[in-house]
Amino acid sequence: MRSRQRPSVLTRLRTGFAARFGVDRRGLAAFRIALGALLCLDLLLRARNLRAFYTDAGVLPRGTLHALYPALSRLSLHALSGALWVEVVLFALAAAFALAVLLGYHTRLALLCSVVLLVSLHARNPLVLNGGDSLLRRLAFWGLLLPLGSRWSLDALARARERARDAPLGPTRVATAASAALLLQVVLVYVVTALFKHQGTLWGRGLAVRYVFDLREFTVFFGPVLAGHALPLTAANYAWLALLTCAPLLVLTTGRVRAALVGAFALAHLGLLCTVGVGIFPLVDLVALLPFLPSVVWDAGERRLDGSRLAEGVNGVAARLPTPRDVTPSLPAGAARVAGRGLAVVVCVLLVAMCAWNAASLGYADLGGGEGVDPAQYGWNMFAPDPVTTEVWYVAPAETASGERVDAVTGGAVSWAPPPSFERQYPTARWRKLLRNAHKRDLVGVQRAYAGHLCARWNATHADDLERVSVAVAVQEARLEEPEPVAHDVRWAGRCAAARGASESGR
């Protein structure tokens, strides 16, 4: 009797690669749906400050944008005009493409347009961006190289109508260089974040999370309740650091072990979402985890949904929608193989470049002098190497036409004491990011434009107009034990009319 032939080394390597870097098509579908929903949510949240952040009447007029970011500003379609109506049109277009991504309607074309408009939007006001925006761009880019519309989409429905009912759907998993890049991108974010934190001192001592929760401008929902409770915050500090350090296991493990690890990361991001106001960052991380879920999770999910009212309702609605035509050009078999290999080479080059960039951001490599973007300014260093230990707020002493002295930020009396609430200071996480960046980099042009924004906001809601206004920054060190004194510094002062002309200023 002949012995069973052992698989070759190449076969074992391919099997191992597929097990660790392959993605279930249903996971890609869930990733697409969540990505489209997140793009829509991001636009909706940004629209609250559309005039303030993206027009010449706001805090970053195009003159200031070009002076601060001469190269980056050229990438922005949103910077072609400073008019509000142009931004409204671009936001509406982006929302339409994001909805098409969610539904899986001409998925790749819709996602390509979404990526272009997302990059344009980010380039219009880099001062309001955080690491979540950077990760969102990268997830959308890698998604372009994957069959996100092959399941649970209008594109898939169209293909199902055209083929015979008993025709096979094709392989359940996608194992390509692009799928590996998507997974490695997420793991790399966690690994680099862990390395940044290990470079600091507060994370290793268990104090970093306590400092974060001590800053009232960051805490939301359950955050203020936990602030001051040393034991759970110290435990969360060490647990998060340990979880980040174990991030490579996301691709080294498979099956239920990987599912459990994904669940641990998801719980951590949900905890961040419920306690610390960092915008959509936790939601982006949650979306990024979906492709890691193994097939056993999607099998269980489909068994529960199969025949349910939800599935029947979705299928009923989809059946009434027009069938999208396939606009993807078909290539001969030989050309398709060459194109696939070429794409794999490009993806590998991009992966190497991505690793080199992150190594440079950590200080492990030098990409050369030059006048380009400094990797150290765009690393995955949220609250790292150590979190900020100062609380920052703005005070705007102003004088009305009748001679009354008020704070244009809060609308009350001028006070240098820490505000009881930071809601008026930072209505959103993006406002905090912008104003903290303006303070950190001493961007006088932005602070002058902010003064103009305060004047316009006041005059639109009060009969007694503001005549003069000053913009000052107050700073107080974090106080785990005793309050520290408040220091303040006036950054700009002048008439409201001069502040509204901020588009003429540089820096």
Q: Which residues of 368-404 are buried (b: 16+ CB within 10 A; e: fewer)?
A: eeeeeeebeebbbbbbbbbbebebbbbbbbbbbeeee
Q: Are residues 267 and 200 in the same domain?
A: yes
- 160: confidence class by pLDDT, cuts 50, 70, 90: confident
Percent of the chain with pLDDT over 90: 63
Q: Are residues 99 and 207 in the same domain?
A: no
Task: State residue 328's pLDDT score.
Answer: 55
Residue pointed to by tokens 């396939």: 326
Task: State residue 213's pLDDT score.
Answer: 93
- Structurally, the chain folds into a number of domains equal to 3
Residue pointed to by tokens 């998925």: 107
Q: Are residues 369 and 445 in the same domain?
A: no
Q: Are residues 108 and 184 in the same domain?
A: no
- State the Cα–Cα distance between residues 342 and 141, nearest whole angstrom: 17
Task: State residue 281's pLDDT score.
Answer: 95
Asked if residue 362 belongs to a domain, the reply is yes
Tell me the per-residue pLDDT of 286-297, one tens digit each, with 9 for 90 and over. 999 999 999 999
Least confident of 35-44, 165-174, 222-231, 251-260: 165-174
Tell me the per-residue pLDDT of 363-384, one tens digit each, with 9 for 90 and over. 776 666 544 555 556 667 778 8
Q: Are residues 35 and 119 in the same domain?
A: yes
pLDDT value at 407 more than 60: yes
Q: How far is CA 154 from the centre of its chain?
A: 27
Least confident of 18-32, 92-106, 189-203, 357-371: 357-371
Task: State residue 397's pLDDT score.
Answer: 95
- The parent domain of residue 272 ranges over 176-293+335-388
Q: Are residues 421 and 445 in the same domain?
A: yes
Closest CA to 423 of 234, 217, 128: 217
Asked if residue 27 belongs to a domain, the reply is yes
Contact 274, 225 (CB under 8 A): no
Q: Are residues 369 and 417 in the same domain?
A: no
Asked if residue 4 belongs to a domain, the reply is no
Q: Are residues 270 and 210 in the same domain?
A: yes
- 506: confidence class by pLDDT, cuts 50, 70, 90: very low
Task: State residue 431's pLDDT score.
Answer: 96
Which residues does 11 contact at the CB level (< 8 Å), separation at least 6?
Answer: none
Asked if residue 206 belongs to a domain, the reply is yes
Determine if the pTM surpasses 0.85: yes
- What single DSSP character describes residue 78? G
- Give whole-number Cα distances, 294 to 289, 298, 411, 421, 496, in Å: 11, 7, 53, 44, 58
Asked if residue 170 belongs to a domain, the reply is no
CB atoms under 10 Å from CB of 366, counted, come to: 9
Asked if residue 301 belongs to a domain, the reply is no
Q: Are residues 416 and 497 in the same domain?
A: yes
Task: State residue 12's pLDDT score.
Answer: 81
Tell me the per-residue pLDDT of 111-147, one tens digit each, with 9 for 90 and over. 999 999 999 999 999 999 999 999 999 999 999 999 9
Arithmetic mean of pLDDT, 222-240: 94
Q: Are residues 316 and 416 in the same domain?
A: no
Q: Are residues 396 and 374 in the same domain?
A: no
Tell me the per-residue pLDDT of 19-78, one tens digit each, with 9 for 90 and over. 889 999 999 999 999 999 999 999 999 999 999 999 999 999 999 999 999 998 999 999
- 503: confidence class by pLDDT, cuts 50, 70, 90: very low
Whole-number average pLDDT of the chain:
87
Asked if residue 408 belongs to a domain, the reply is yes
Task: State residue 505's pLDDT score.
Answer: 47
Asked if residue 427 belongs to a domain, the reply is yes
* C-alpha torsion 56→61→65→67, nearest 10: 130
- 484: confidence class by pLDDT, cuts 50, 70, 90: confident
Arithmetic mean of pLDDT, 204-230: 92
Q: Are residues 286 and 259 in the same domain?
A: yes
Task: State residue 232's pLDDT score.
Answer: 95
Tell me how far apart the terminal alpha carbons of the chain are, to the nearest angstrom: 82
- Give whole-number Cα distances, 320 to 36, 158, 165, 416, in Å: 21, 12, 19, 61
Task: State residue 371's pLDDT score.
Answer: 47
